[in-house]
Structure 1
């Protein structure tokens, strides 16, 4: 026969003398008859946390830039399907990110509209986000130039060059 567990023994006095586990909040009472009191975060603390998360989002394109540069290095300098796919991804993602900037930062909007400082901070974070995406776009254009896909030399524009009419003087 199997033994049944007695869960009522958990309320015994021997369990009450154990130290609380790591990370246990003192504000939550574990006694049977008391109400559970949970501390609420103030709106200022919540806005600070949203501000920190917004900065994480704003700098995320710059944080992924070393991995993208390594991928560009590993793809080589030739025009192959793999290197073209990586360059296309690198060139299209900044445009997608910049077009969707309001949706990306919507979750970090300040809780109180009366605080103009938090609105200005969000504007600064959006500008940092745009500049990091432009930096990513610049790396993609540099790779296109090194692959020979951008017309940077004079020989690339010969089709649009017009020659003047040469007149031979009469003698």
Structure 2
């Protein structure tokens, strides 16, 4: 035997006297007494909010870097399928992010095309986004170097070195 939830009892509950969340107000003409309407925000506040969200997106690759570094640490230093998959993911994601930068920031485009300050700010955010992705790429390359996948030593280039002419030695 289940008990049904009575939504009409919410009108007389203790939660009714709480103030509305920021950006919301009680509707004058409410539909069955429970609807809320969104108040109008000024264009400056909306642009400020879009600017803040664009900076959050620009810095998101740097925020995920500690988690990716921990995953690299846990994958080990050997060349196994699991560690190679994590390294491939870490090396390919910055390229995908950089090539899709215009799609990522399209929702934060300024509302007016003549607003040069917003265009400059968006340029700085895209630049920070590229920098954070290059930082992620650097961590991936460092992991490849520590696994021995990058040719960094002189022994890695022996095939391309040429031998000098040996001096002719005559014993007689």
Alignment TM class, shorter chain as reference: 0.7 to 0.9
1:50 corresponds in structure 2 to: 50
* RCO comparison, higher one (Cα < 8 Å, 6+): 1
| 5+ long unaligned stretches in structure 1 | none
Say which SS state the counterpart of residue 113 (structure 1) adopts: coil
Q: Equivalents in 2 of 1:31, 1:85: separation in Å?
A: 54
Aligned CA-pair RMSD: 2.6
* Aligned residues of 1:54 and 1:108 also touching (Cα < 8 A): yes
TM value normalised by structure 1: 0.81
* Deviation (angstroms), 1:70: 0.2
1:28 corresponds in structure 2 to: 27
1:105 corresponds in structure 2 to: 105
Q: 1:96 to 1:72 in 2, by over 3 A?
A: same
What is the CA deviation profile of residues 31-75 of structure 1, one whole-angstrom value per residue up to 9, with x for unaligned ones? 79xxx9853111111111111110110000000000000000000
2:68 corresponds in structure 1 to: 68
What is the CA deviation profile of residues 122-146 of structure 1, one whole-angstrom value per residue up to 9, with x for unaligned ones? 0000000000000000000000000
Q: Equivalents in 2 of 1:67, 1:120: separation in Å?
A: 31
* Aligned residues of 1:27 and 1:39 also touching (Cα < 8 A): no
Decide which structure has the larger Cα Rg and report it: 1
1:88 corresponds in structure 2 to: 88
Q: Equivalents in 2 of 1:73, 1:128: separation in Å?
A: 26
Q: 1:27 to 1:142 in 2, by over 3 A?
A: same
TM value normalised by structure 2: 0.81
Q: Equivalents in 2 of 1:19, 1:152: separation in Å?
A: 68
* Aligned residues of 1:62 and 1:136 also touching (Cα < 8 A): yes
* Aligned residues of 2:20 and 2:26 also touching (Cα < 8 A): no
Say which SS state the counterpart of residue 68 (structure 2) adopts: helix
Corresponding residue pairs, total: 155
Q: 1:98 to 1:131 in 2, by over 3 A?
A: same
